[in-house]
Structure 1
């Protein structure tokens, strides 16, 4: 089976992890701060807070921005559920903004219309908007940032798919148009730490709060304590935090993987270009690359032109699996999940997202993919569709 995504682990990566296993620190040692510094150098952000997952990073980002009961987050319905769940972890509510049918990202036109409607009808406005850079393609952050000035919402970029990409010549994660950006290092992402994530920001106050909350709300900083220190052993818990720490092994793997980041992104773009050339005459809608950005091509999502073929969406998906092509679907619209339906979401609320779901298939694309493997995917699509 040719997988839709796969980690690329070298001997150098293995050696880096083994070196940590032989060291004095398996957690809370020097590797995590070093990894954070490498992330800052890569993204040009002033601060980076490494954690055990991107989900944890999203949660901490919401908390750092003061999200709480009675507040509202707006995000895209086409994402993994964590992009919405992070609001609920804070006791806030969540709503969605339909996607752009061309980029599959949160539509800035839909966002502006929804904001205007909410204000005119005294409906809740968002405290935070979480645009999701689906497949590594950045959202229209300039427009979202302009809207944030008018409607006073904070911005968390869910850049889980997008490390190594650019928006208007700026590295994604540099937070030029957001308060916080979040990356994922799950094995199928651009680089991996096995599980793991990071939040970047240019705001020192937000960085300090996220760092505090990832470690149980515990501090050894005299300035934050309520009384003088009792000695070198002394610490205080000053807030209810979490154990969201990244391990030293994960950080060492991340440091090693970062040395290959742009090689990986370049390879993915070459593979995507080859797909574009080979599939252009198929009854498919191929993913677009906006002119002002550089996508990491985390996923290559095709959409079936169902009116031009005799098979259904499911039949094409199943036929590809039967030919050992490990296709997947990213994503089921969050508002159609039973949990969210039970909270009041309904079919028909976000038609672009729902139409996307009815036609989308993620076909294999990963760093080590060979031309032969890619040709097998293309031939399988040809056999099924043509």
Structure 2
């Protein structure tokens, strides 16, 4: 079966991990800071905090905003459930913002209307989590402007979008947001096996992220609250977590980062070929905006009779997937009072969405096989 995504591991990646295995430190050594600096340079941002996965990165981003049961967080209605769960981990109330079915990204008009209504009843959110679905940046400038207007923290969920650009600037630069979150799961633009990171321009947020990442403990002499009796001294200053990334993972990530631009170029070329190969079929790829460059984590199409087409493609050995079931449709969130009917854009997007195989090593022959199987699945 041709999978929808697959990691690409080189001999250099393996050698980087082996070098750490032969070193004195498998964790809490120098590989993680080196990886963080590499990401900072790539994203053109001063602060990067690496952690154990994309979900913990989202949780950390919510935790440092001091979210509580008294707060609300709004989330794009179409995403993986972690985009909303991270706020629930902080006991915050979650609500959703509808998406544009043509892109799957947050609908700015829907956001603006929802903010105006919330302001009238004093029910504004403390934070908004905006998702860059499939690797295409959402309308960051407009969303950032609205968040600043209403005093809302903006978290970019860029777990799909490392390597993407918005108006010429790399995603992760945080020019329009407070923090940006990345994932390094094996199907993502680069992998650390499991891993995540948060970028920010706010030094205080970065320091707090590092504190929360490692049990709330610091050994930094300049950050201690009590006099230090010796070099062994450390302080737990808040209730944090063990969300650290290992040096093994960081070494893999830093090696992969050196090939990120190559990976993105390959993904964009494959997406361009899909665009050409699919012109004769009754399908609609996600709309792409001219002022941004997608990282093409996913290649999503909209197709009629999606469930039937999906089943036929799987039977033909094509590992298609659906990204995603709208979060308000999940039983957990339905129990909290949410209803997918309130998000017609998300419902429309979901009804037809299929993700076709897309990864840097997908061959042209495999891609043609995917398109042929899709043609057969549609025609029956």
Report the TM-score when normalising by structure 1.
0.97
Which residue number corresponds to residue 375 of structure 1? 368
Q: Separation in 1 of the partners of 2:186 and 2:36?
A: 19
TM-aligned CA deviation for residue 40 of structure 1: 0.3
Match of 2:344 among 347, 351, 354: 351
Listed one character per residue, the Cα deviations across residues 332-353 of structure 1 (whole Å, up to 9, x for unaligned) are: 0101111101111123011111
Two-structure CA RMSD over aligned residues (Å): 0.9
Verify the 8 A CA contact 2:50 2:245 in the aligned structure 1. yes
Listed one character per residue, the Cα deviations across residues 105-156 of structure 1 (whole Å, up to 9, x for unaligned) are: 0101100010011122x15111101110000000101001110122110100
Q: Separation in 1 of the partners of 2:235 and 2:192?
A: 30
Deviating beyond 4 angstroms after TM superposition, the runs of 4 or more aligned structure 1 residues are none
* 1:161-310 superposed matches below 5 A: 161-304=160-303, 306=304
Verify the 8 A CA contact 1:336 1:347 in the aligned structure 2. yes
Q: Separation in 2 of the partners of 1:267 and 1:287?
A: 18
Verify the 8 A CA contact 2:326 2:340 in the aligned structure 1. no
Which residue number corresponds to residue 335 of structure 2? 342
Verify the 8 A CA contact 1:40 1:48 in the aligned structure 2. yes
TM-aligned CA deviation for residue 225 of structure 1: 2.4
SS in 2 for 1:181: strand
Which residue number corresponds to residue 109 of structure 1? 109
TM-aligned CA deviation for residue 221 of structure 1: 2.1
> Alignment length, in residue pairs?
379
TM-aligned CA deviation for residue 385 of structure 1: 1.7
TM-aligned CA deviation for residue 281 of structure 1: 2.1
Q: Separation in 1 of the partners of 2:225 and 2:346?
A: 50
* 1:44-193 superposed matches below 5 A: 44-120=44-120, 122-193=121-192
Q: Separation in 1 of the partners of 2:242 and 2:167?
A: 36
SS in 1 for 2:128: strand
Which residue number corresponds to residue 323 of structure 2? 330
Q: Separation in 1 of the partners of 2:168 and 2:94?
A: 32
SS in 1 for 2:340: coil
Q: Separation in 2 of the partners of 1:232 and 1:180?
A: 33
Q: Separation in 1 of the partners of 2:226 and 2:16?
A: 41
* 1:24-63 superposed matches below 5 A: 24-63=24-63
Further displaced range: 223-232 or 53-62: 223-232
Verify the 8 A CA contact 1:280 1:286 in the aligned structure 2. no
TM-aligned CA deviation for residue 226 of structure 1: 2.9
Which residue number corresponds to residue 314 of structure 2? 321
Report the TM-score when normalising by structure 2.
0.98
Q: Separation in 1 of the partners of 2:224 and 2:354?
A: 53
SS in 2 for 1:17: helix
Which residue number corresponds to residue 10 of structure 2? 10
Which residue number corresponds to residue 23 of structure 1? 23
Question: Which consecutive residues of structure 2, in runs of 5 or more, have no partner in the other structure?
Answer: none
Q: Separation in 2 of the partners of 1:299 and 1:10?
A: 22
TM-aligned CA deviation for residue 159 of structure 1: 0.3
Verify the 8 A CA contact 2:102 2:349 in the aligned structure 1. no
Further displaced range: 248-257 or 145-154: 145-154
Question: Which consecutive residues of structure 1, in runs of 5 or more, have no partner in the other structure?
Answer: 307-311
Q: Separation in 1 of the partners of 2:211 and 2:122?
A: 34
TM-aligned CA deviation for residue 66 of structure 1: 2.2
TM-aligned CA deviation for residue 222 of structure 1: 2.7
